[in-house]
Amino acid sequence: SRRGMRIAAKGMRQGYSGGATKPEIGAAMRYDELKDMIKDAMKAHDKVRLSILRQLHGEIKNIEVDERREATETDVDAMTKRLIKQTKETLEGSVKAGTNEERTETLRIQVAILEDLLPEQLSGDALCELVDATIAELGATTKRDMGKVMGVLMPKVKGRADGKLVNRLVCEKLG
């Protein structure tokens, strides 16, 4: 009813979020950092950076609107990864076509900007040490133990290493 909609709108203005919990301090900071980066890019007249940051902001805003909740740090990271993947695919197509060098260079810069936003990725040595430690901790010896190892290992590396790479390393160590 109209009255119900007015009450809901009034509640939203007063800060009631419809039962959704507020995100952790770190998550709000991360989204606020993105907004600040957009402002900085505007002030610096950096069109390439501004373009990709606005695209990321739009994707995150879609999550907030569609799911009617605040974006968390996990959402920001997931969207950043998704946008990196999409931009890399576009970059590959641009390189194959080979027609517009300026566009290709812009895409390369955008991928670099997005990758800087992600948490630091685990390097090969650090990842190998983590895999070895997890295997030793569980006493895993055969490929049959791979599920146990991956189950313990993936939460430790979540967002900091590619799952396929982790899977390959575990497979090599156990095989």
Dist. CA 18–CA 34, nearest whole Å: 25
CB 174 within 8 A of CB 150: no
Contacts of 39 (CB under 8 A, 6+ apart): none
- Per-residue confidence (pLDDT) for residue 67, from 0 to 100: 92
- Per-residue confidence (pLDDT) for residue 29, from 0 to 100: 52
Residue located via tokens 């590396």: 157
Query: What is the per-residue pLDDT across 33-86, written as a single tens digit (0 to 9) for each?
Result: 889 999 999 999 999 999 999 999 999 999 999 999 988 888 888 899 899 999
